[in-house]
Amino acid sequence: MKSQVKAISEVKKTSAKAFQDIVNIGKLENSSPNDHPKNDLKKASNVPLKEMSAREVKQLADKIVKNEINQEQAHRRDTSWKKHFKRA
């Protein structure tokens, strides 16, 4: 239990969004797919937070952060592509 709390506090320091996603795991299971865009998060965590080990919390947080980075990069590519064609 103590290691879980430590892992969750480390996640909070690293990424506020990842922290919120992990803390709200139970709520995601009850929501519809349209309520939350990260369906992969929903699939990745069929286990309630209180039953997850510290290692599992860290792995899930890493996955969330990687997804955030990928989405941000995709958004930047999409934005720069649109700007390129507006100039032409």
Give the tens place of pLDDT for each residue, 36-51: 445 545 555 567 888 8
Residues in the chain: 88
Q: Is the pLDDT assigned to residue 30 strictly greater than 60? A: no
Give this prediction's pTM. 0.61
How does residue 70 score in pLDDT terms, banded at 50, 70 and 90?
A: very high
d(CA 88, CA 14): 40
Q: Which single residue is written with the structure tokens 């990260």?
A: 38
pLDDT of the residue at 83: 65
| Domain boundaries defined on the chain | 2-87
d(CA 26, CA 22): 9
pLDDT of the residue at 55: 92
Are residues 10 and 58 in contact, defined by beta-carbon separation less than 8 angstroms?
yes
pLDDT of the residue at 37: 47
d(CA 82, CA 69): 20
